[in-house]
Structure 1
Amino acid sequence: MTITTLSAHKGNTWKIELDDSGELFFLHVSVVQRCGLRKGMTLTPQQWEQVQTAELSRKAYQYACFLLDNRGYSYQEMFRKLEPKYPQAVCFATVDRLAKYGQINDRAYAEQLAHHYVAVKRFGMRRAFQEMRRRGLLEEHITEALEPYEDEVTGEILMELVEGKYRKYFLDPDDRRTIEKGKAALVRQGYRFGEINAAVRAFLEEQLEEE
């Protein structure tokens, strides 16, 4: 295949035509320069495939950086995001590149999410774990990130929820139906039933003492 047309198109985009076929391809100037393309140059099918892969890799990396401007991603999550748009090999190469330069770091991302789900969203360990797993993080990274919140912090947060946001469910110790609704709501927040019972019991005992 011979490059019969190679010229600037718009901005940093160049247009290229092979063998006067009439079909135009568009490449970023960086790809043209990196591949050493010039008019009259002859390419093997393998060389042309490498050029196209270079252009796809550039686009995939650019798209990944755009996504990372909005929020963090795990390695697996970013791969899943890229896979519908780009060949698998390009996706792996792109995510590896992001990880190499620290743009993706699963351990750091796990720590960010642990703080977000536990300290900000006030989820229990179970739901926080599920949400972090859904983001494509490995179990070892999740467990490590959640460990600082396990006992004391989780207990404090749960007690604050019982005394604050969910207080209305536990004001009447004789209204078992409403109390069970409150407990069910806390289960959905990801707290274990045993720790919920302990927190509610402590709250009710405190109310009785105040009376």
Structure 2
Amino acid sequence: MSPRSRSAAEPPEEGAAAVDPEPEAESVARAILLRQLAGAPRSRHQLAQALARKGVEEGLADRLLDRFTEVGLIDDAEYAQMLVRSQRESRGLARRALAQELRRKGIEDEHAQEALATVDDEAEEESARRLLERRWRSSTGLAPEVKARRAVAMLARKGYGPGLASRLIRELVDAEAAEAWDSGSPVGD
């Protein structure tokens, strides 16, 4: 009797492969995870969301995520470190904005705190100074108050506090005034 001619009520023959939809669902879920991880590193939370969007059953998703974590394909601590490094270098974000980004990606507080501890105050101030100088140079011809307001807003969007922004702007304005004084031209010309 061929497997096709058996009725649905009959059990499969000895040695025949059982028809089980679960391995198919698992292989689809694995493929989703691997595809997500091939594109870029992701947090466990992001991967869980991707599986949920594709309709993968929660128990299966948890089991696969646990296995991927166990074998090192998912590492939220390393992901947090990488995210902090890359966002600081590419976007110049301060700790406050980085913390918000880590929360949005679903990183646990413990891993987030470890990653944020790698950012020291001096490096953060230097990043703010570079961002400010770039913005200041690109806004020539504007009134100093307008330049300052726009610079403070830009630094705030990047997560820098108003105290630091104000101090750095004062330093920049003072340096600009000193240059103008040294060159003999009045400030604002």
Smaller-chain TM-score range? 0.7 to 0.9
SS at match of 2:3: strand
Q: CA deviation at 1:170?
A: 8.1
2:115 aligned with 1:145, yes or no? yes
How far residue 18 of structure 1 moved from its aligned partner, in angstroms, is 7.4
For the residues of structure 1 that align with 2:28 and 2:84, how far apart are their CA atoms? 31
Q: 1:186 to 1:18 in 2, by over 3 A?
A: farther
Following superposition of structure 1 onto structure 2, how do residues 36-185 of structure 1 map, counting pairs within 5 Å? 40-41=13-14, 51-85=20-54, 86-169=56-139, 175-185=144-154
Contact conserved, 1:77 with 1:135, CA < 8 A, in 2? yes
CA contact (8 A) 2:139 2:147 kept: yes
Please name the residue that 1:19 is paired with: 7
Q: Distance in 2 between matches of 1:148 and 1:84?
A: 34
Higher helix proportion (structure 1 or 2): 2
CA distance in structure 1 between the partners assigned to 2:7 and 2:15 by the alignment: 10
Q: Using the alignment, how far apart are the partners of 1:84 and 1:94 within structure 2?
A: 16
Cross-structure match for 2:186: none
Q: Deviations over 1:20-62 (max 9, x none)?
A: 59xxxxxxxxxxxxxxxx952599xxx86xx322221122112
TM-superposed deviation, 1:116: 1.1
Q: In the alignment, is the contact (CA less than 8 A) between 2:135 and 2:151 conserved in 1?
A: no
Distance 2:149 2:41 in 1: 37
User: Structure 1 stretches (4+) deviating beyond 6 angstroms?
Assistant: none
User: 8 Å contact 2:136–2:147 — kept in the other structure?
Assistant: no
Partner of 1:103, secondary structure, is: coil
Structure 2 length as normaliser, TM-score? 0.81
Kindly indicate whether structure 1 or structure 2 has the higher relative contact order, using CA contacts under 8 Å at least 6 residues apart. Answer: 2
For structure 2, which runs of at least 5 residues remain unmatched after alignment? 181-189
| Aligned residue number for residue 3 of structure 2 | 4
**Partner Cα distance (1:177, 1:94) in 2:** 53
**Residue in structure 1 matched with residue 187 of structure 2 by the alignment:** none
Corresponding position of 1:25: none
Consecutive unaligned residues in structure 1, runs of 5 or more:
6-16, 22-37
In structure 1, distance between residues paired with 2:149 and 2:163: 13
- Indicate if the aligned counterparts of 2:44 and 2:65 stay in contact, CA closer than 8 A: yes
SS of the residue corresponding to residue 99 of structure 2 reads helix
Q: Distance in 2 between matches of 1:162 and 1:119?
A: 15
SS of residue in 2 equivalent to 1:203? helix
Which is richer in strand?
Answer: 1
Structure 2 counterpart of 1:70, one-letter code? G
Q: How many residues align?
A: 176
- Mapping 1:186-201, distance limit 5 Å: 186-201=155-170
- What is the RMSD of the two structures over their aligned residues, measured on CA atoms? 2.8
Q: In structure 2, the residue corresponding to 1:128 is in which secondary structure?
A: helix
